[in-house]
A and B are shown apart, each in its own frame.
Chain A
Amino acid sequence: MSSRLLALLLLLAALGLRLFVAMPAQREAAGLGDAYRRARDERREAAQQLAVAERRETRRQQAMASILAAAPGDADPVTRLRRDAVASLREAGVSGVRLAVAAGRAPIGATLRLSARGSLVDASWLSADLTTKRGVVLERVRLVPRDAEVVIDIDGARLLGGS
């Protein structure tokens, strides 16, 4: 075999390695790199969702602890909730009020159902006051615009011993 033929064969082998081994591997690695980045983004998103779910679970556990700590010796939860609801309605300055308070089953002390009409600000204030200041746990809230005002319906409950 002549030296030039040998050199040509070696160059052809080098070209073959480059074309049929190295370049396909680089192309595939680039494609997998894109898949890797997508998977990394998915993992980040899933981790964020998990973190949110875990924080929520922690808060729920804390809420569960407060439910278990609900004082069973609450003498008249219905009257207390009714009085608080009336005070809240008065402070909110809403009109067209309908209110029903009934006894609940432990750990719920009393349930509340109310409807009122007022400005959006007043209705928002009412729901915020009932939940933050009066300890009402929401079940359902419905807001319906009526002329320049809104009608707000609130279904909720308060735990035994709740403020």
Chain B
Amino acid sequence: MDFRTRRESRRTLADVILVGLAGATLLASAWGAVRARGELGSVRAALTDMRSDVNSARARLRSRGARRLGDGERLASRLELTAAAPPVLILAEITSLLPDQVRLRSVSLGYGDVVAVDLEVEARTAGAWDEFLDRLSGSPHFTALRPGEEQRDGELRAHVSMTWRGQGS
């Protein structure tokens, strides 16, 4: 008896199935790779657009910030800021940020292109002063924080300048 023909036929079928499965796996993998590359391209394009938008918005903000106001505009700015940022409002915001061990020695507000705020402060401990600075820098109402000279002789006396950012109005 000769069983060769039957054995070869079984092997051929198994091999075809094996190669078919491997081919299908390759196709699926290729499809996954194409999709991944496609998604990467989309994300890259979206990121490029987004960065372009960010740069454009920043440039507009910079150009606004860099523009120097004339005398009339500065007066208009003072008029606008007097109404939008009265001393009571700014003072209330500052006192709400004061730690217990920090005392205000003076508050100066200068109305011009912006409201410039200058504080002279007395703190019982350096930690309290640091905490006050942290609170000021974390406040959404102030920007351009510039701590000045500090005198540490028992109590700490210090100066800090900043700009009133407003209340988002």
| Chain A residues within 8 Å of chain B by Cβ, number | 66
Known: A15-B29, A28-B40, A52-B168. A46 touches B21 (CB 8 A): no
**Chain A 24-51 near chain B by CB (<8 Å), digits 1 or 0:** 0110110011011001101100111110
Total inter-chain residue pairs, C-beta < 8 Å: 186
**Chain B 101-113 near chain A by CB (<8 Å), digits 1 or 0:** 0011111111110
Contacts of A3 in B (CB 8 A): 12, 15-16, 18-19
Between B54, B57, B77, B79, the greatest number of chain A beta carbons within 10 A of the residue's beta carbon is seen for B79
Known: A60-B76, A67-B79. A25 touches B91 (CB 8 A): no
Residues B109 and A141 in contact, CB atoms below 8 Å apart: yes
Contacts of B50 in A (CB 8 A): 36, 39-40, 43
Contacts of A59 in B (CB 8 A): 80, 83-84
* Nearest CB of A to B49, in Å: 9
List 29 contacting pairs A-B, 8 Å CB cutoff, sorted by A.
A6-B19, A7-B18, A7-B22, A9-B22, A10-B25, A14-B29, A14-B30, A15-B29, A17-B30, A22-B32, A25-B37, A29-B36, A32-B47, A33-B43, A36-B50, A39-B51, A42-B54, A43-B50, A50-B64, A62-B80, A107-B72, A107-B75, A124-B91, A131-B82, A131-B83, A138-B82, A139-B111, A140-B111, A145-B104
